[in-house]
Amino acid sequence: MSGQPDVVAIEEGDPFRFGSLHAGVPCRSRAAVRAKQQSQSWIRQVGNRRDGAVARAVVDDHQLENGIGLGEDALDGPPDRLACIPDWNDDAEHRRWISDGAGHEKVGGPATSTPVAVLLGSRARLPPPVRVRPPGRRTLFRGGRGGVTRRCTVEVALATFNCESFLADLLDSLLSQTHEDFTILVADDASTDGTRAIVDSFVRRHPERIRLLGYSEHAGYLGNFARLIEAVSADHVLFCDHDDVWLPNKIALTLRQMQALEQEYGAERPALVHTDLVVTDAALRVVHPSYASYAGLDPRQNRLERLLLTNVATGCTAMANRALYERARPIPPEATWHDHWLALTAAIHGNIRFVAESTILYRQHGANEVGVARWSTPAIARRVCDTLFSSAKQATVARYSHQAGALLDRFAIDMTEEQRAATRVVADLWSLKRRQRFRTLLRHGALLQGALRNLGLMAVTMRKAEHLQA
The predicted model scores a pTM of: 0.67
Looking at residue 379, its pLDDT comes to 65
Query: Is residue 144 in a domain?
Result: no
Q: Do residues 200 and 307 both lie within one domain?
A: yes
Q: Do residues 395 and 356 both lie within one domain?
A: no
Closest by CA to 384, choosing from 313, 460, 333, 437, is 460
Average pLDDT for 154-165: 97
Q: Do residues 49 and 111 both lie within one domain?
A: yes
List the Cα angle 334/231/68 in 5-degree steps.
125
- Burial of 210: CB neighbours in 10 Å, binned 0-12, 13-18, 19+: buried
Round to whole Å and give the CA distance between 188 and 224. Answer: 8
Round to whole Å and give the CA distance between 209 and 175. Answer: 9
Round to whole Å and give the CA distance between 255 and 251. Answer: 6
**pLDDT tens digits along 204-225:** 999 999 999 988 899 999 999 9
Q: What is the DSSP string of 197-255?
A: HHHHHHHHH-TTTEEEEEESS--HHHHHHHHHHHH--SSEEEEE-TT-EE-TTHHHHHH
- Amino acid (one-letter) located at 463: R
How many folded domains does the chain comprise?
3
Q: Do residues 277 and 191 both lie within one domain?
A: yes
Round the average pLDDT of the chain to a whole number and report it: 74
Closest by CA to 260, choosing from 206, 319, 203, is 319
Q: Do residues 260 and 297 both lie within one domain?
A: yes
Looking at residue 55, its pLDDT comes to 31
* pLDDT band at residue 26 using 50, 70 and 90 as cut-offs: very low
- Burial of 204: CB neighbours in 10 Å, binned 0-12, 13-18, 19+: exposed
Domain residues for 428? 377-467
* pLDDT band at residue 467 using 50, 70 and 90 as cut-offs: low
Cβ-Cβ contacts under 8 Å for 54 (sequence gap 6 or more) = 45, 46, 47, 48, 120, 124, 126
- Amino acid (one-letter) located at 100: D
Q: Do residues 390 and 340 both lie within one domain?
A: no
Domain CATH for 293: 3.90.550.10
Residue 347: is its pLDDT beyond 50? yes
